[in-house]
Amino acid sequence: VFPSSEVYRILPQREDILRGVLSSNIVGFHNFEYAQQFLNSCIHILGLECSASGIEACEDAGGTTTKVVTVPLGIDAGPIQDVLSSGDTRGRIAELQHIFAGKKVLVALDRLEEKKGIPHKIMAFHKLLQRDSNWATRCVFVQVIEAPVKSAEEAAGDDEGDSGEQQR
């Protein structure tokens, strides 16, 4: 997570931290929003110019060109393939194919976090149905919500418990 430049500029060592990060050849963020917020901080706090490829070599950036990239979290496909090939999963897939036969199924999978835009997705689907009521009988929206990611402290606390149940 990288905060907005408005939040970041209140830090006392903000310039030193940005210059330290800019001494790297490449800086990666998990999503586009965090990369944009980092670039905006460099623009507003250090007065640097940024391009599509990142921050060009300049004295304030330590004389190096820093490439800013978005690197979404990946998945390990092996375990997913294992689950998909199990008998239970194949049975559930057949059941869902029967339930949703002839319909377009829109599926969204999100963690339950404020910035995930879940209400916006539901409102967008609602607007689709308002604009073209024919979709109401031809389309299904399924929103799957996962629990939020635990902090390191929460995860360590779960290891100490004897029941193994989630303690929230």
- Distance separating alpha carbons of residues 54 and 42, to the nearest angstrom: 10
Which band of pLDDT confidence, cut at 50, 70 and 90, is reported for residue 132?
very high
- The predicted-structure confidence for 20-50, as pLDDT tens digits, reads as follows 888 888 889 888 888 888 988 988 888 888 7
Q: Is the pLDDT of residue 62 over 70?
A: no
pLDDT value at 67 more than 80? yes
pLDDT for 55 beyond 80: no
Rounded to a whole number of angstroms, the CA Rg of the chain reads 23
Token pair for 14: 């903000």
Residue 27 tokens, joined: 């800086």
Q: With a cut of 70, say whether residue 90 has pLDDT above it.
A: yes
What are the structural domain ranges in the chain? 5-70, 88-149
* CA distance readout (Å), 27 to 44, 68, 71, 150: 18, 5, 10, 24
Q: pLDDT class for 164, splitting at 50, 70, 90?
A: very low
- H/E/C letters for each residue in the chain? CCCCHHHHCCCCCHHHHHHHHHCCCEEEECCHHHHHHHHHHHHHHHCCCEECCEECCCHHHCCCCEEEEECCCCCCHHHHHHHHCCHHHHHHHHHHHHHCCCCEEEEEEEECCHHHCHHHHHHHHHHHHHHCCCHHHHEEEEEEEECCCCCHHHHHHHHHCCCCCCCC
d(CA 166, CA 168): 6
Residue 99 to residues 35, 115, 122, 140, 141, Cα–Cα distance (Å): 41, 32, 21, 11, 13
